[in-house]
Structure 1
């Protein structure tokens, strides 16, 4: 794994919580028997596994830009095909009945063009299924930005918050995908995860939201940044019995279907 690669082990510390939105998204996909499906941004294969289990007769593939994630996915699902590649430059060699994108498109810009382009990879009657974290304004993420703006590390961290794309509104995604000829189903769910204190919240985000900040710092700075994050998070969430904090996690869901 390279220094700035995505860590599958870190990501999978909260596998059950991270997989639940994938299951909720897949449950709303109105396809009976797709022939070909691809999980783009498949990570360590936890979401790909759900797709393959629901559609055992389909040819299911995975795509990810992280070698470490793909190594874990191939070990987990040795019978499936996984590709190393960047969604931003992805040129599908075939049309898919299902393009599944769980918790990945928030890392890519220009959704006005991106989502219609992905819908263009669908076979007639196919579905684009998308889930994205929509937690920019939650304390978990506002705290990252605040810490990054103060202290000696501020110059290094300038622009780190822009690693994640702006999430559009319901109206934006509906308009963009309707213009691409799709029927569109959109909803938002706020998950509430009981966490074993502020350090657990930091552990959750080390593999996602905190990563663009930590990647720019040296080892000592990373430790100091996480320590400052834990201290502020501890003060921003209500403490329950045993020190449990409730992590609010809003997520945006989209299922767009191309006409048959």
Structure 2
């Protein structure tokens, strides 16, 4: 699957809804084991940094680094970098979650928010990431679990249709992009972690014209928009066809458009020393 290009402004158009799972994940992260030293925290796939700064607010003495492989996202995040109120600091750096291998015992917390679904085979990296935790440290993440929802199924079916498959047949992710909560629990427990894994389906109430299309333009549709970026007419044609399908799948109500969104969470605390 080709790498997608990102638009921070489009991504942030639904920032309130997108931030909710991060806040829910963060609420389940235990206190960090650092004693007598500033905690070291990594946010893997930080995007524009809007939620990374919440880590610095919870642990104001920590050195928090947000990592991302999108120059556009990092450019926006860099505006948030600097010292924090508790004597810590917030900074950002380029890294790709597909090959990020921190040194053993480096971090008190490694957290990833809505990123690992873009990384094929990401559970294979868990041993290295758990190994990078200090004893008692935590690895926590959440990933979308909605790949069988109409928003994604319709997108894949359209991309695989005879008109589009030559250009788009291999650019989108499928339902196996993420594991079940139980499968994540099993993987992480096998690495010597105490694991809390769960799933939640949010019922987002979106407003405006074609709000589900507006949402996916910032995330799931990015590979299509990237693949068609050199052909404006083709982009407009695909988006128009997809818009029609979404309007049927997600009809507006008197209060807005309901957009169910399942997410999978795991919080793994290293207990094997």
- TM-score normalized with structure 1 length: 0.92
Runs of 4+ in structure 1 displaced over 4 angstroms? none
Cα distance in 1, alignment partners of residues 109 and 248 from structure 2:
43
The answer to which structure has the higher helix fraction is 1
Q: Which residue in 2 is equivalent to 1:60?
A: 64
Are the counterparts in 2 of residues 107 and 163 from structure 1 also a CA contact under 8 Å? Answer: no
Change (3 A) 1:104 1:164: farther
| Aligned residues between the structures | 257
Extract unaligned runs of 5+ from structure 1: none
Q: Which one of 211, 235, 239 corresponds to residue 226 of structure 1?
A: 239
Cα distance in 1, alignment partners of residues 67 and 122 from structure 2:
19
Q: Which residue in 2 is equivalent to 1:241?
A: 254
Q: Which residue in 2 is equivalent to 1:23?
A: 23
Structural RMSD (CA): 1.9
1:120 aligns with 2:131: yes
Cα distance in 2, alignment partners of residues 37 and 163 from structure 1:
31
1:166 aligns with 2:170: no
Extract unaligned runs of 5+ from structure 2: 84-89
Q: Which residue in 2 is equivalent to 1:146?
A: 157
Q: Which residue in 2 is equivalent to 1:87?
A: 97
Are the counterparts in 2 of residues 186 and 254 from structure 1 also a CA contact under 8 Å? Answer: yes
Equivalent position SS for 1:89? coil
Q: Which residue in 1 is equivalent to 2:87?
A: none
Cα distance in 2, alignment partners of residues 212 and 165 from structure 1:
17
- TM-score normalized with structure 2 length: 0.88
Change (3 A) 1:31 1:45: same
Q: Which residue in 2 is equivalent to 1:200?
A: 211
> Cα deviation per residue 1:102-143 (whole Å; 9 max; x = unaligned)?
000000111331223221211110000100000001111111
Equivalent position SS for 2:227? coil
> Cα deviation per residue 1:62-100 (whole Å; 9 max; x = unaligned)?
100011111111102333221111111213246100001
1:96 aligns with 2:107: yes
Cα distance in 1, alignment partners of residues 137 and 261 from structure 2:
29
Cα distance in 2, alignment partners of residues 119 and 101 from structure 1:
13
Per the TM alignment, residue 163 of structure 1 is displaced from its structure 2 partner at its CA by 7.7
Are the counterparts in 1 of residues 45 and 112 from structure 2 also a CA contact under 8 Å? Answer: yes
